[in-house]
Structure 1
Amino acid sequence: MPASKTQQATSASDTSIGFDYQFYQFFLLLLDLRHGEEIGLEEKDDVHVDLADGTQLLIQTKHTVQINATGQAINLTERDKDLWKTLSNWTKVISDQSDAKAFLKLTTFQLSTNKQAVTNPFVLNIIRLQNGDIKIKDFKDYLKELAKNTEDATIKDYIDRFRGMASELLTLFAKKIAFQLNHDDLISAIKMRLLEKIHIKERVDDVYRNLHSELRDTNYLNVKADIKNVISFERFNQKFGKCFQVAISTKLPIRDLPYILPDHPEQQLFIRQFLDIGDMSATEKDVIIAYTTQMLQLLNNLKEWESNGDFLESDRKKFNKETSLIQQTAFKATFRRIKAKIEGGQNLDDLDDEIKTSAVSLLDEMRRQILQFDETQLSLELSHGHFYLLTEESEIGWHMDWKNRY
């Protein structure tokens, strides 16, 4: 059922993405913290950064979902309500200070928005004032005309409040205002910053997911417990340092990867061997598919590791050798007694039932094995899959006479 006009009008999507935009700005700046610095979310401002030299950066974040004819975010206009509401809020903050001059000398005010950096007379006049190209009187005259020609009463009040500051304070304030326009796609920016830190492109997404999850949970729990969302550089390393371990650990990332089943899975060599020893019957299609899935999951993870440079060809050979040795050692012990019977003169065919029963027992024993390579412990599914893959590649077998039979 489509949303009604009332529901559409009261949709929280604009507000929601605004909070998300604020969070991702916090996330991005968090990665730039240095010793002696700390960052806060919705404490002194939407986001704030306290620098080691005693100065601070107050950031207002404004995100729009409105787009222009070219599909880009709308422009930050001269009478933009977000712009003037932000300036009005900062004006109030300054007026609340016991020593406004000292506060302004230590504070930078930044508006971060995804709105476009298109020619804006107000922004241009701020820059001209900062560069000394105009005097404060010229700037105030410009503001007077801007307010005079503004029809929106709320925006007019914002402009008048800003213009009404004492000239000395307004000069100091205007010179500490910065604009971060067309500031969008923060997730890509965060991942780029992570790449600059860990230098392993293939591990960026893993570190990002770890950090994102931990930060979201921490922010939520802090708000719930009425704890300030402020993180110092030292606290960040202490609480979130483990999120980066995936980038430096030799533990391989195990993922649930897509796979395509073969058209005739029952014709696979390892399935034929299992059918031969009586581990299952040809009618158990679900079992055949389950075993095939386990093998393909292991195979696809191996390919993923190799593609990402996490797993060398020499590693693959070492891993295969170790798993094969586990199976071959158990194989030798399983068939030792039957081998002695054959050497004593009994016919191999006469012992076939005993051989198959022993082969199934061997297979069951291997299915209890949890395989490990260096720091990476495989799941039971992938451990099974490696035995099946080595069977498919004719590295190991299960019937005592498998080398002749296949």
Structure 2
Amino acid sequence: MAEEKSYSEKTSAGDTSIGFDYQHYYFLYRILNLGTGQSVGFEIKDDVHTELKADFNILYQLKHTVQTNAAGTPIALTELDSDLWKTLYNWSQVISDKVDGREELAAQRLFVSKTEFHLVSNKSLSKTNTFLKLLVEFQESGNFEMLDMHLKDLSDKTENADIEKYISSVNCLEESVRKDFLHHVRLELEVDDIISRVKNSIREKIIGPEKIDAVFERLDSRIRSENFLTIKNGSALIISFEEFSKRYGKIFEDSRNKKLVAHRFQSILPDDIFSQRFIKRLIEIGALSIADSERAIDYTRQKIRLSTNLERWVQEGNVVGDEVEDFHNEVFNRWDNEFYGLFDKCTSMSEVIDSAFDLLRMLRRERFRLGDTELDTQLSNGELYYLSDIGRIGWHRDWADND
């Protein structure tokens, strides 16, 4: 017996959230598989749709479930599944939409002849789903009679009023329209690990395996944020092959050269930001206030971004360990050259503080290099904070005595 859920669990936003993510990543997957002259839209003609060159549309309805069977895999799409029939109902309404000028049969036939209807779900196919079995047989043999009879029987079989309404809507389509419509229905089931599909599509763009994650992260972040702004501004979200190549092509170009591509991620911050050694060193010279937690968090993220990228570049084989050591040593030597003798002429503590702050400010302007790659300002500053945090460099004349 399935475990009964609490009211809070039933009303949780988790199921809805993963459904939105599922749509987003399928949209990204379809973009990556565009051809010249084609385009993909998001929540315009359907959840996702593709426009092909020959005035042909593919409509995609996305249905994701978090429900699992005894084996722990997503449940099957049953014959009277609400996801199945609500999807077919939605399409039947689109086909006969008066507002879009499809009240007449000729317009409905024309629309169906130039459209494919894809139900995409992580659910599996039920062996007892007679309707889908007959649907496949009809599409292969052209024998519509058995499928049509079964469709009418299903309306009487269900005790669910909503599903009965959905089935009746399909039955209400004129027979020739209904026949052509069902002939153009496609099922994409067991589409569960959609992110892997996206990454495979990136790999097929001649991207090396070690660069796939970096390309995915940049592409996902850019498209997700730009999509949000597009929808927020009330604009239609549709991307053509040409527009995608123009707007995002550089992401792929960057991954094909020898330059390192920085990974983007959400940093896990320490519980006590101000207990970090490098933060204490900044406070000592007035470069940071104990009250400025926002700036302390920003500096911490820069340090973590640097150290995490170094680890991942080594793991991915983009750099080797001795290159990282040489990098740390080079930055240390540049600090040491400036630090040595800096405080010899200081006669007061205020002069010491001023000199220390000038040293920090000067090195923050530097853009350090790792191999053939010049690191950006955040990564370069992150290296300074990293070396300070491990106790290798400092700013105050007496920083080592304060550890």
TM over 0.5: yes
The residue that corresponds to 1:290 in the other structure is: none
Asked if 2 retains the 8 angstrom alpha-carbon contact of 1:203 and 1:246, the reply is: no
Asked if 2 retains the 8 angstrom alpha-carbon contact of 1:367 and 1:384, the reply is: no
Shift of 1:177: 0.6
The one-letter code sitting in structure 2 at the alignment partner of 1:180 is E
- Give the match's secondary structure for 1:57: strand
The residue that corresponds to 1:40 in the other structure is: 41
Structure 1 stretches of 4+ with a deviation exceeding 6 A read: 254-259, 296-300, 327-334, 361-366, 386-389
The one-letter code sitting in structure 2 at the alignment partner of 1:376 is L
Range with greater deviation from structure 2 (304-313 or 55-64)? 304-313
Whether 1:305 and 2:313 are equivalent positions in the alignment is yes
Alignment match of 1:130 (pick from 131, 134, 139): 139
- Give the match's secondary structure for 1:99: helix
Whether 1:219 and 2:227 are equivalent positions in the alignment is yes
What CA deviation, in whole Å up to 9, does each residue of 1:262-289 have, x standing for no partner? xxxxxxxxxxxxxxxxxxxxxxxxxxxx
Partners in 1 of 2:122 and 2:307 — Cα distance? Answer: 43
1:7-406 mapped onto 2 (5 Å cutoff): 7-96=8-97, 97=102, 99-119=107-127, 120-132=129-141, 135-244=143-252, 246-248=254-256, 249-250=259-260, 302=310, 304-312=312-320, 319=327, 326=334, 369=363, 372-373=368-369, 374-377=373-376, 378-383=379-384
Asked if 2 retains the 8 angstrom alpha-carbon contact of 1:67 and 1:73, the reply is: yes
In structure 2, runs of 5+ residues without a counterpart are 271-299, 343-353, 394-403
What CA deviation, in whole Å up to 9, does each residue of 1:105-148 have, x standing for no partner? 2111000111112222111111111111x622222112222222
Q: 1:10 to 1:258 in 2, by over 3 A?
A: closer
Q: 1:318 to 1:136 in 2, by over 3 A?
A: same
Q: 1:306 to 1:115 in 2, by over 3 A?
A: closer
Partners in 2 of 1:300 and 1:49 — Cα distance? Answer: 38
Q: 1:124 to 1:314 in 2, by over 3 A?
A: same
Partners in 2 of 1:135 and 1:302 — Cα distance? Answer: 62
Q: Percent identity?
A: 34
In structure 1, runs of 5+ residues without a counterpart are 260-292, 335-360, 393-406
The one-letter code sitting in structure 1 at the alignment partner of 2:136 is I
Partners in 2 of 1:17 and 1:317 — Cα distance? Answer: 42
Q: How many residues align?
A: 351
Partners in 1 of 2:264 and 2:6 — Cα distance? Answer: 45
- Computing the radius of gyration from Cα coordinates, the structure with the larger value is 1
Range with greater deviation from structure 2 (155-164 or 220-229)? 155-164
Partners in 2 of 1:301 and 1:16 — Cα distance? Answer: 29
Range with greater deviation from structure 2 (43-52 or 158-167)? 158-167
Shift of 1:75: 1.2
Partners in 2 of 1:242 and 1:53 — Cα distance? Answer: 29
Q: 1:387 to 1:77 in 2, by over 3 A?
A: closer
Shift of 1:189: 2.0
- Give the match's secondary structure for 1:178: strand
The one-letter code sitting in structure 1 at the alignment partner of 2:64 is H
Partners in 2 of 1:387 and 1:153 — Cα distance? Answer: 68
TM-score normalised by length of structure 1:
0.69
The one-letter code sitting in structure 1 at the alignment partner of 2:28 is F
- CA RMSD of superposed structures (Å): 4.5
Asked if 1 retains the 8 angstrom alpha-carbon contact of 2:255 and 2:261, the reply is: no
Partners in 2 of 1:327 and 1:221 — Cα distance? Answer: 42
